Amino acid sequence: MYSGRERRQRDGNWFTRGLGCLTQFIALAFILLLLYYGSYLLVRGPIPARPVAIAHRGDSAHAPENTLAAFQHAIDAGADWLEMDVQMSDDGHLVVIHDTTVDRTTNGSGRVADLTLAQLQALDAGNGEQIPSFAQVLALASAAGIPIMPEAKSPQLYPGLEMKIVEALAAAQYAEKAVVQSFDAASLARLYEIAPEQSLCALYGLGHFDLTGPQPGNATAVCPMAEMVLLYPWMLRQAHREGRAVYVWFGALEEYPWVIRLLLEFGADGVIADDARLVVAAWQSR
């Protein structure tokens, strides 16, 4: 039988040994992370002279997303590019909205594909803003001279979406200031077939780490998820060695300036963020 004093001493020894093991584990993990990321920084190659701050759905951190107000806010905030989602109304007009339904971002309900342009623009997209047509966003961007990254969104729902995007860019004489992006490989292939000179970007999401090899639509740029880049920064070097630009987008974590700073140090050519000011500030603080 242990006395009370002996039990306390025994428990104290266990606690001390456990704390020591935990400290050693943390120190070892820190050293391994330092070696992992340090080795990448040693071989990453040159970083872009001026990474671009890309406003995700406009300045969606401070204005209703994908509205003219959000895009104007982003321009006023010093964003270098505007990013947006392009879908099609029931009567064949290109509209700028992220979801395939209007339920989340407006006071209405229903599928974008089932509503006419007039019906879509009668909805309140927040603070009295309306869902803009792609033509309206192009006019705003053109007036400011700012490049754009339109995403061909849910193209399987909209036959002819790619042709309409190409035609809209040509009509606005804005093709050279646009990089069209999509998660859909077939959509990128159609865009390349329609307009092989158009700059394209292949979007990649959760779980995708490999950016090597031919890209859909012969895309000259890739957009991996930031969280994947943080886990495996070598994907940036892969893309750069094959001559592709890398624009990183967030699933989460973008509110932390150190994360954006780290992505820029890894060599991202641009960062797509809800608040482009954070990207500008991160670059200026290097």
**pLDDT tens-digit map of 167-181:** 999 999 999 999 999
Give the alpha-carbon dihedral of 207, 272, 199, 184, to 10 degrees: 40
Q: Report if pTM > 0.75.
A: yes
Tell me: the pLDDT tens digits for 119-175?
999 999 999 999 999 999 999 999 999 999 999 999 999 999 999 999 999 999 999
Domain spans of the chain, in order of start:
1-43, 48-284
**Residues annotated as catalytic (active site), given as ranges:** 56, 98
pLDDT confidence tier of residue 11, bands split at 50, 70 and 90: low
The predicted pLDDT at position 27 comes to 75
CB atoms within 10 A of CB 170: 12
The DSSP code sequence of 149-196 is EEEE-SGGGSTTHHHHHHHHHHHTT-GGGBEEEES-HHHHHHHHHH-T
Split at pLDDT 50, 70, 90, the class of 9 is low
For the chain, what percent of residues have pLDDT higher than 70?
93
Spatial contact of 164 and 182, defined as CB atoms under 8 Å apart: no
Pairwise CA distance, residues 269 & 239, whole Å: 11
**pLDDT score at 79:** 98
Position 29 scores a pLDDT of: 73
pLDDT of 17 strictly over 90: no
For residues 106 and 4, the model is more confident at 106
- Residues forming beta bridges with residue 178, ordered by sequence position: 148
Q: Which residue has the higher pLDDT, 5 or 208?
A: 208
| Mean per-residue pLDDT over the chain, rounded | 93
Which fold is adopted by the domain 48-284?
Answer: TIM Barrel (3.20.20)
Q: Which DSSP symbol is given to 281?
A: H
Does the structure show a pLDDT above 90 at 30?
no
Instruction: Grade residue 2 by pLDDT with cuts at 50, 70 and 90.
Output: low
Q: DSSP label at 60?
A: T
